[in-house]
């Protein structure tokens, strides 16, 4: 995502990090619908920044974060380590 989201005043590190993670994850693992959604969100954020409606940025970042987790949770490798670790921790607490 080469977007103005990286230049958001007041939210630079949060927005830059989120955009980078979402862009990489969606390109590698996202469906065409998710890729379209990422592009649409990028465009919406660019438009919001151009119109200087900064109060709308947090909501768009939440949507971007939601998309990130939606894609991440579909990646089988994500679940490889957490599930066994959870089971081992569960046994220790029993």
| Residue from 61, 65, 75 nearest 30 by CA | 75
SS3 content of the chain, % helix, strand, coil (to 5): 80, 0, 20
pLDDT value of residue 62: 92
For residues 21-39, give the mean pLDDT: 91
Q: What does the domain layout of the chain look like in residue ranges? A: 4-93
CA distances from 68 to 28, 53, 60, 79, 94 (A): 12, 23, 12, 15, 34
For residues 55-65, give the mean pLDDT: 91
Q: Global pTM?
A: 0.66
Q: How confident is the model at residue 14 (pLDDT cuts 50, 70, 90)?
A: very low
């Amino acid at each position: 995502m080469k977007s103005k989201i990286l230049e958001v005043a007041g939210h630079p590190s949060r927005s830059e990090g989120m955009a980078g993670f979402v862009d990489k994850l969606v390109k590698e693992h996202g469906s065409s619908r998710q890729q379209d959604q990422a592009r649409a969100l990028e465009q919406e954020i660019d438009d919001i920044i151009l119109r200087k409606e900064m109060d709308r940025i947090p909501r768009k970042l939440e949507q971007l974060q939601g998309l990130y987790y939606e894609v991440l949770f579909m990646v089988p490798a994500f679940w490889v380590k957490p599930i066994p670790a959870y089971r081992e921790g569960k046994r220790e607490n029993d």
